[in-house]
Amino acid sequence: MNSLDPLIDPFNRHITYLRVSVTDRCDFRCVYCMAEDMTFLPKHDLLTLEELERLCGAFIARGVRKLRITGGEPLVRRNVMSLFRGLSRHLDSGALEELTLTTNGSQLPRFAADLAAIGVRRINVSLDSLDPEKFRRITRWGELDAVLKGLAAAKAAGLQVKINTVALRGVNDDEYDQLIAWCGAEGFDLTFIETMPMGDIGADRTEHYLPLSLLRADLAQRWTLDDSDYQTGGPARYVTVRESGRRLGFITPLSHNFCESCNRVRLTCTGTLFMCLGQEDAADLRTPLRAGTDDNQLQAAIDAAILRKPKGHDFIIDRRTKSPAVPRHMSVTGG
């Protein structure tokens, strides 16, 4: 391959979507994502923002059209807006179709206007409860009021918002109708996500696992859910809620995996490329990145990695051992 060839995996899937974790740190400690007493990477292990921008540029040169910045919480990384500004030049040139991010919303009062100004058009905000006490229990450190202020700032800046809610049996399953109605009133789309068995969180996930097929069947008793062919390039399958006119998505890594159309890979803040969220195989891009000023070795390493991209993941909830299917935390890989 040369540097202009598109990235195509062994199953003839074009890789056009890169998710980039800029930090494993977060100002929340959500119970399904992290242990309360987390050990984070030493800061000197992280790629610089300039190195992350160069890596993203190498993927854009190969046909990546969508970049999502993630964490941890991406907006807690110092000077992260310099990365967004640097990447926005690819929007200006037309090489990149979309630059977006997933956030917990806590930092949006500071950054929403700047994000919109450099070309971010839509964002995903993780929000699992509209009840302040329950929100605090789920996030351990989060304050609902701060997130609601962040969402107001996003709306004021003209950003389209999609709410991501992890469906947790016995935790927030009494709020789903309220969330649908609230998102309709606010003009937000909503996606429900099955809990993913990644990383030791100091608790048993099995008791909270809720198959979204059951959730959808339950919602259909009260809401008119019209099938939709809408796609964002991500794994969600969408319907339209007729009563609100808003989209409702379902991400089902356990009950129905979404691998057949996978067009994405994930880059960590240390320069490790995961070809699949649910597999441990990974490629070191930091070494070739730092080997020289041209991207020849880096592009060769990217080629070798894409040729190892698996057909699908193997997520399971193991009720016998209660161990995670993948030992690394979601905050390491990026959401």
pLDDT in tens, the chain (335 residues): 344 799 999 999 999 999 999 999 998 888 888 777 677 788 888 999 999 999 999 999 999 999 999 999 999 999 999 999 999 999 999 999 999 999 999 999 999 999 999 999 999 999 999 999 999 999 998 999 999 999 999 999 999 999 999 999 999 999 999 999 999 999 999 999 998 664 454 555 567 789 999 999 999 999 999 999 988 766 789 999 999 999 999 998 665 555 777 899 999 999 999 998 767 789 999 999 999 889 999 999 999 999 999 887 554 555 455 544 445 445 555 55
d(CA 255, CA 155): 33
pLDDT of residue 2: 44
Binding site for GTP, residues?
19, 68, 102, 162, 264-266
Over its C-alpha atoms, the chain yields an Rg (Å, rounded) of 19
d(CA 52, CA 58): 10
pLDDT of residue 326: 47
pTM: 0.87
Domain membership flag for residue 329:
yes
Cβ contact 178:129 at 8 Å: no
pLDDT of residue 201: 44
d(CA 7, CA 185): 41
How many residues in total does the chain contain? 335
pLDDT of residue 241: 98
pLDDT of residue 277: 74
Domain membership flag for residue 4:
no
Q: Name the domain count of the chain.
A: 1
Domain membership flag for residue 134:
yes
d(CA 67, CA 59): 10
pLDDT of residue 213: 92
Domain membership flag for residue 170:
yes
CATH number at residue 230: 3.20.20.70
Cβ contact 308:277 at 8 Å: no
Domain membership flag for residue 316:
yes
Binding site for S-adenosyl-L-methionine, residues?
32, 72, 126, 196
Domain membership flag for residue 5:
no
Binding site, residues?
19, 26, 30, 32-33, 68, 72, 102, 126, 162, 196, 259, 262, 264-266, 276
Domain membership flag for residue 1:
no
pLDDT of residue 176: 98
Q: Which secondary-structure segment (H or E) carries 247?
A: strand 246-251
Q: Which residues fall within 8 angstroms of residue 91, CB to CB, at 6 or more apart? A: 98, 99, 119
Binding site for [4Fe-4S] cluster, residues?
26, 30, 33, 259, 262, 276
Domain membership flag for residue 10:
no
- Domain holding 144, by residue range, is 17-333
Cβ contact 228:247 at 8 Å: yes
Compute the C-alpha angle 228/234/240, nearest 5°. Answer: 20
